[in-house]
Structure 1
Amino acid sequence: MRCPEILTLQAVCVCVSVCVSVCVAMQQYPAAWSHYDVCKSRIYTEEGLTWDYMACQPEATVMTKYLTVSLDPPNITCGDPPETYCTLENPYMCNNECDASTDELAHPPELMFDFEGRNPTTFWQSSSWNTFPKPLEVNITLSWNKTIELTDDIILTFESGRPEQMLLEKSLDYGKTWTPYQFYATDCLDAFTMEPKTVNELTQRTLLDIICTEDYSRGYVWKYDKTVRFEIKDRFALFAGPRLHNMASLYGQLDTTRNLRDFFTVTDLRIRLLKPATGATMVDENNLSRYFYAISDIKVQGRCKCNLHSNSCVFDKDKGKLGCECEHNTTGPDCGRCKRHYHGRPWSVGSYLPIPRGTANICIHSSHGPVHRANASSLGVANRNQAHVCDNAMLLCQNGGTCHHHQRCHCAPGFKGVLCERTRCQVLGPCEEYPTAGQPSLHHPLLLGPPGLLLSLLLPLVVIWFC
């Protein structure tokens, strides 16, 4: 049938019953490419409405908004006392001043994370190399007080020349221990006794190798050569393809290979600046104010690690830390343990498999094991085990029903169903459960449930001509 361009609600309802297969296809296609952003959804079983649980994770975001930064040595920032700098290209051009007591001339660490696009550019700057041959070394530590998963390249933008020697390190235990992520040098053999290599030379077997690259260590400031990268996406592409079109393959690898998952997981990052740009093989000892570090921007993209038990992570300003808003009866900053009274089986991380919605591995109430609902369907989603039928937080019995041992709802007279959501047919009166001929059923699975489900099904029909 042909639908009018502008549909009334009544016309849409009739159209839904005829065009359900089209709507389902339109719903399922985006879901197949989702990034595990839904933790649970309504499903319909032979007994009625209940919940279906899925693995879920927060959206990726800019993580530099939530970090704290520390420098070692702590007094390495320029400006106290005030200092004048020369340019690397011209040792006689010395008109750059740093003075911590003047806002316009100060370069504190927080300027590495402020909004870029201003003119002039804002940046952090170190003291100059005043005590040669002692090396000018600086450690910049970025801490989140939370486990995060990296989802994009780490990018450092230098306002001075890029360092001739640098090391990027990571910690998984809040800075107690550190492991190398990548070495950077103009000469990897000389600096770190390592053969130079690029990320493009890595394979699936060698993805976890720690390499030294010479690609980002030129001494002079070139117009398009200010950045230093740690390439996350190029490593993802080894499994997901060059345009990351096959994320299912990557998720499958992350699910089954813990070392791979841990490789992209951090609580802290440390940038070790070991030797500033010199632009030459010899250092000009008579003009050491040419040598320093300056960073205008640091980009870190990622998401909170919630062990696939949460799709939301919030920043507590009072505590100054991130925390997952846990689902699946889990708790903790990373949803890393079961809630009280939900230790019916050992806690487990959620699973990306089976693609595309994964397995929630929810915590079970201590009084019983998982309840299996046969023939459960959620617009074509495969059957899953259900943790429990009802509780006092998420799965409330409807229409005056009461939850009994998390296993069933005791329904009030006149109602039935898993959650007491359906009206009983009265023997002596009319049955409101079934529609009369020619009328759409008000209990059809596609018309029952939260408004969001109804709207999500109806919206595509408004913009198409044929049902």
Structure 2
Amino acid sequence: PGQRCPPCRQKQDLHPKALGIKALEKQSDHTLSPDKLYLSLYFAHSRRDCVEQFGQEANMAITQDDQMLCVTEYSRIVPLENGEIVVSLINGRPGAKMFAFSDTLREFTKATNIRLRFLRTNTLLGHLISKAERDPTVTRRYYYSIKDISVGGRCVCNGHAEACSADNPEKQFRCECQHHTCGDTCNRCCAGYNQRRWRPAGQEQHNECEACNCHGHAVDCYYDPDVEHQQASLNSKGVYAGGGVCINCQHNTAGVNCEKCAKGYFRPHGVPVDALHGCIPCSCDPERADDCDQGSGHCHCKPNFSGDYCETCADGYYNFPFCLRIPVFPNYTPSPEDPVAGNIKGK
């Protein structure tokens, strides 16, 4: 439970002679719905049964990782008891030796539920009796004798775990993830490790999830392919590689890597970007400025103000701190005795 496991080995102790026709079915979505069971393997008494019952040629050579098979090798008379059938959905398939890297074979063998459907018993010469000649007083006493069914599988961990366990309150098998991956199947990067896109482990590369570089101002991030394409994200080695974008930057910071100060704050010269409280408020009146320069803290004045801290009116404006636009009158010469006009002339 809790995992879509590849049922790579299935062992059954039963009387092969009684095994006339059987189907091995599986599903991989936990629904327990018979409508969502998919046939994986057919067992038949003869080649004819394979064709008539399942529309499959018997004992075909395996050429595809998801090829359906119909086999007749388990319909012999002997042994009369304690017979064993070992079924593998992996062995003999093209991707068997590279199972971790065959998407088709991994998907074909995934299962959350397995059903064995027994369709007909196999009695001595019983196949020669037509349906009309069968005595129901006899056939109703037919039965299947199964001593044990064992299903073995492996957890799907995408190459990012060496083991899985059910050591949790739900008692469901979960991967013991490595490489900074998380999830029941190690199918995503852990929080704060999304500098690179998540990938399953390869044969020669672990494809570990890489930590985002948020300069200590955020604990989580997400991967953005556009940011990687634009080379706009700085990784932990100081190289613009990857697409990690920091989430919820703290300490009055902002930016892809929390490398900038938020609006209304600045980082003085000489203060490192990872300083916990490096961003301090701008010394600007919000009525006169929108923001300030990083490093110097000089204000970004609105159009009618000027100066490092917007302490004067800009050219063309008068009457600080209101700084109104100077009116323009055609063919008008202001009088020096007019205090307002004198201010205008001084400007």
TM-score of the two chains, using structure 2 as the length reference: 0.52
2:231 pairs with 1:369: no
Higher RCO (C-alpha 8 Å, min separation 6): 1
* Separation in 2, partners of 1:345, 1:185: 50
Alignment partner of 1:274 out of 119, 122, 133: 119
Q: Report deviation, 1:189.
A: 2.1
The alignment-based identity, stated in percent, is: 24
Q: Which runs of 4+ in 1 moved over 6 A?
A: none
Q: Report deviation, 1:317.
A: 6.2
| Structure 1 vs Structure 2 CA RMSD | 3.3
* Separation in 1, partners of 2:163, 2:65: 30
* Separation in 2, partners of 1:265, 1:318: 24
User: 2:59 aligns to what?
Assistant: 197
Letter in 2 for 1:147: R
User: 1:211 aligns to what?
Assistant: 69
* Separation in 2, partners of 1:348, 1:322: 22
* Contact preservation (8 Å) 1:207, 1:235: no
User: 1:307 aligns to what?
Assistant: 158
* Separation in 1, partners of 2:100, 2:207: 16
2:176 pairs with 1:319: no
Q: Alpha-carbon deviations, 1:245-295, whole Å to 9, x = none?
A: xxxxx22x642x311222233222221122233331234422235311232
Q: Alpha-carbon deviations, 1:377-419, whole Å to 9, x = none?
A: xxxxxxxx9x9xxxxxxxxxxxxxxxx97xxxxxxxxxxxxxx
Unaligned stretches of 5+ residues in structure 2: 215-233, 245-272, 275-347
SS in structure 1 at match of 2:53: helix
* Separation in 1, partners of 2:16, 2:92: 28
Unaligned stretches of 5+ residues in structure 1: 1-143, 241-249, 374-384, 388-403, 406-467
* Contact preservation (8 Å) 1:170, 1:270: yes
* Contact preservation (8 Å) 1:308, 1:360: no
Alignment partner of 2:104 out of 259, 264, 269: 259
Q: Report deviation, 1:228.
A: 3.3
Q: Alpha-carbon deviations, 1:174-224, whole Å to 9, x = none?
A: 2463321111111212322322115xx22xx33432121111235x57347
* Separation in 2, partners of 1:268, 1:184: 19
SS in structure 2 at match of 1:325: strand
Alignment partner of 1:168 out of 21, 24, 28: 24
Q: Report deviation, 1:171.
A: 1.8
* Contact preservation (8 Å) 1:216, 1:227: no
2:117 pairs with 1:291: no
Q: Report deviation, 1:315.
A: 1.2
Alignment partner of 2:14 out of 158, 177, 192: 158
Alignment partner of 2:38 out of 179, 185, 193: 179
TM-score of the two chains, using structure 1 as the length reference: 0.40
* Separation in 1, partners of 2:85, 2:238: 52
SS in structure 1 at match of 2:105: helix
* Contact preservation (8 Å) 1:171, 1:269: yes
Q: Report deviation, 1:239.
A: 5.9
* Contact preservation (8 Å) 1:149, 1:303: yes
Alignment partner of 2:92 out of 230, 235, 241: 235
Letter in 2 for 1:270: R
* Contact preservation (8 Å) 2:3, 2:155: yes
Letter in 1 for 2:115: R
* Contact preservation (8 Å) 1:150, 1:265: yes
Q: Report deviation, 1:161.
A: 4.5
SS in structure 2 at match of 1:188: helix
Letter in 1 for 2:51: L
* Contact preservation (8 Å) 1:313, 1:325: yes
Bigger CA radius of gyration:
2
* Separation in 1, partners of 2:191, 2:111: 28
| Alpha-carbon distance change, 293 to 365 in structure 1, aligned in 2, over 3 angstroms | farther
* Separation in 1, partners of 2:23, 2:235: 50
Equivalent residues, number: 212
User: 1:146 aligns to what?
Assistant: 3
User: 2:196 aligns to what?
Assistant: 345
* Separation in 1, partners of 2:149, 2:41: 16
User: 2:83 aligns to what?
Assistant: 226
Q: Report deviation, 1:157.
A: 1.8
* Separation in 2, partners of 1:366, 1:174: 39
Q: Report deviation, 1:165.
A: 1.4
* Separation in 1, partners of 2:165, 2:173: 6
* Separation in 2, partners of 1:260, 1:154: 17
Q: Alpha-carbon deviations, 1:64-91, whole Å to 9, x = none?
A: xxxxxxxxxxxxxxxxxxxxxxxxxxxx
* Contact preservation (8 Å) 1:155, 1:230: yes
